[in-house]
Amino acid sequence: MYMKDTIEVTIQSPRGSDRFTFEKTAKVAEVIETARLKFGFEPGAFVLRRKTPDEVLAPERPLVSYHIESGETLLLVPEMGSGV
């Protein structure tokens, strides 16, 4: 259910994709951790990427700072060089 203080996104990972709802003020690091647990990944270095524009989201920033739209798809990928 979409509310004005939340955002619904689809997160794609190497293990599939799912829909998530977060507070707009949630930090990117919280989103990464929630998705990592949902998809059953071991703790490790993951990044959240935006498809359009193609950019890595900084973990310390809130989602709202990127002006992400509800319904957008984000990518959860291992950090380059992490060996995950």
Task: Determine, yes or no, domain membership for 1.
Answer: no
Tens-digit pLDDT profile for residues 62-74: 999 999 989 999 9
- pLDDT attached to residue 53: 80
Distances (CA, A) of 10 to 21, 54, 68, 82: 9, 16, 12, 24
Predicted TM-score (pTM) of the model is 0.87
Task: Determine, yes or no, domain membership for 67.
Answer: yes
**Domain tally for the chain?**
1
Tens-digit pLDDT profile for residues 11-63: 999 999 999 999 999 999 999 999 999 999 988 889 999 988 889 999 999 99
DSSP for residue 44 = -
Bridge partners, 74 (sequence order): 11, 50
Task: Determine, yes or no, domain membership for 58.
Answer: yes
CATH number at residue 46: 3.10.20.90
Task: Determine, yes or no, domain membership for 53.
Answer: yes
Range of the domain at 64: 6-78
